[in-house]
Amino acid sequence: MTEENLEVLLVIAGAIAGIVVLMIIWFVLKSLRTRGRALTMALDGVGHEFRFNLQRVLSELRDLTGNGDARDELSVPLGRPQLDSLLTQPAVKDKRALERLDTTYRALEASRDEVRTQGQSSETIEAYKRSAVEAIAILYLWEQHKGGLPEKAPSISSSAVRDWMKSLGFSQTLIPGMALRDEVIKHLRRLRMPLKPSELGMSAQDYYGLSAKDENRATGELAAGVPETPEPTNMAEEAAQQEFEPEVESAPAENEQLEPEPEEAPAEVPREAEPAVDNAVTARASTPPAGDLAQPSRRRRRRR
């Protein structure tokens, strides 16, 4: 075998090895993508499964509130095969949202068992209603915020939550004697989810119905624009304060004209006594000598 043939064989072997490596990478990426799609579909299936079970729970509560017999329905447990399979799936790394759903299922089953074993009393039915409201709030977090924590959810208006419940058919009067949507929003606020606007302390009718002397008068958004009643003061204390306070001249009215004050004459400044000067001496010093000029001295004569 010549060197040229050996080089050709090496080039062919390298090309085949590269193609094999590329095919392995493509197969791995395709399997990961397929697994991701299957996981996404499984998570969506968990949400649909939970929603179907909630519809069943609300129908049971409607029958129980209307004095109906729901023992046959309560005897059948809530099915959750999708959730159970994902809880055992190693591909799911963060299982906190799934565990929260599992806890909600357990609370619903416990309330259903109490109604079935202890009878349809008002206490057991109210506990079942609270569990259902909590389950609807968890479903909202699962579908709208991917099962995240309520305190870390972005701020959203309460009307958006009402629209979501309206789209699922959860009306306000779905359960007789209970405002379902209001209760769900209150439970989301208890979970520290930021909802706008913030909850008022009391209604306007209750606030304005209070007396002025009520010590438990609410202070907040409703009480912000209401003036407070002045407290009564003692007349003797006011009189004593006015005695010690300095009097302040009141400002003149616009139509009144101020009278001009009399101008004071400027004070005369005393002049200092001038020293006495002899007029005769000053006259002699000021007048030049009359006649010939003064004779030069002897030194000047010698220089000449």
pTM to 2 decimals? Answer: 0.58
List average pLDDT for each run of 10 residues in the chain, which is 304 residues long: 78 90 91 83 88 89 76 80 86 84 91 84 87 92 86 86 90 85 90 79 62 49 46 55 53 49 52 49 48 56 60
Residues with Cβ within 8 Å of 172's Cβ and at least 6 positions away in sequence, in order, are 179, 180, 181, 182
DSSP-based three-state secondary structure for 243: helix
Hey, what are 269's tokens? Answer: 């400044």
Domain ranges for the chain:
3-201
Q: Residue with structure tokens 């998570």?
A: 43
